[in-house]
Structure 1
């Protein structure tokens, strides 16, 4: 697939089956119970798997035990790749005071914010291919086989891959932009606005999750040199 095909397919993919989109939405909406959230992330890995196999539609919701296991893999890998940003945050602010960070420290310092964005982007460059490699090899530690991951990126081509990831990241940010623009402290209090915010945020999270998983599956180079 070329650039346009990859992004057109990925962006339109969540609309392939609105019933399955709704099921994932319900799982994400019940994330406070934790188990639905884990199953939902397992489903995102299944989307990558189906994409690698060349499947056009969204996969079925079956074998829930497998979805749960895969969801744990996803969350652990995501947490590990989030460590660099966490460490930078700790070094910048000297303490993990997330309330003060979210309320002003990051946004009041463009330099700090830029550093965090760059660190997150660099980690994301590896994370995207790592997650796809985990699914392809069906092996948890394949997500940390950095020699192979960099080899895979090299097969795609570093310039091409970085461009794809940059556009992918921009799209994710643009999808989230409406919520960030209208987000204010009073929305985060319980009430009608809070409920509306939660519903919209869940819908966007599901869309971004499906879009992102499809993207990861489509950019993985299937003609792989095993050496």
Structure 2
């Protein structure tokens, strides 16, 4: 399947079952409960912390469900997966999160090293001075830029690593670099890059549409605008991306 076929399929995929979009949307709303609480004026740090922890844990279910969609897509299943076996979905979410963190370690180290290097060169005792603080921010900015560029390059490889984990149904398959690179070679680096660029463009288009729709509903209330975004737009985008990743991974089979 070429990129056009993958995108066409992935765009239609979420709307094949609106009930499941809504179900995923409810999970996303719950995962964002801390931010929603803050937006309606909740200032109790203890409450926000508890809600934040709850949101984080529920958010792992989102990652687990994304992996479930990828698995179904790899198996040639066109129906959107059910929401069942919640403990398994939670564990899958942890796996996806760990894979993302491991691949992001170079970016994290770059930021830490750049900030530390700037602090050492400026002198710890001088950090209270405005000029020294500006230098520290500059160091962090340089490190952040390098980290951003790294993540921008590595994201499609992370996507294929997660798909490889889903395909082999083993956590370690996400780190079998030779196997992953061979798979990408089979797909074609050019095809992967084109797919990635198209996905970036479509993501921003969908995000823009979502922002416009959310803004319209925000006239009623900012909370209503956020809920509409989390309940309908974000689950569609997540399903679209997950389906596209799965189809891209097996695109060399067609």
User: Distance in 2 between the 1:112 and 1:87 partners?
Assistant: 9
Describe the superposition over 1:5-64 as per-residue Cα deviations: whole angstroms up to 9, x where unpaired.
100111221111010111111111111423432222211111011101111110111211
Query: TM-score, normalized by length of structure 2?
Result: 0.70
User: Distance in 2 between the 1:69 and 1:35 partners?
Assistant: 11
Instruction: Give the deviation of 1:215 after TM superposition.
Output: 0.8
User: Distance in 2 between the 1:28 and 1:178 partners?
Assistant: 18
Say which structure is richer in helix: 2
Q: Check whether the contact 1:38–1:72 (CA below 8 A) recurs between aligned residues.
A: yes
Count the aligned residue pairs: 207
Instruction: Give the deviation of 1:113 after TM superposition.
Output: 7.3
Q: Closer, same or farther in 2 for the Cα pair 1:117/1:53, shift >3 Å?
A: same
Q: Check whether the contact 2:10–2:244 (CA below 8 A) recurs between aligned residues.
A: yes
Instruction: Give the deviation of 1:158 after TM superposition.
Output: 0.9
Does residue 90 of structure 2 align to residue 68 of structure 1?
yes
Does residue 246 of structure 2 align to residue 217 of structure 1?
yes
Query: TM-score, normalized by length of structure 1?
Result: 0.78
Mapping of residues 83-98 of structure 1, within 5 Å: 83-91=105-113
- For the aligned residues, what is the CA RMSD? 3.2
Mapping of residues 22-171 of structure 1, within 5 Å: 22-31=22-31, 32=52, 33=54, 34-91=56-113, 115-171=146-202
Structure 2 unmatched ranges of 5 or more = 32-51, 119-136
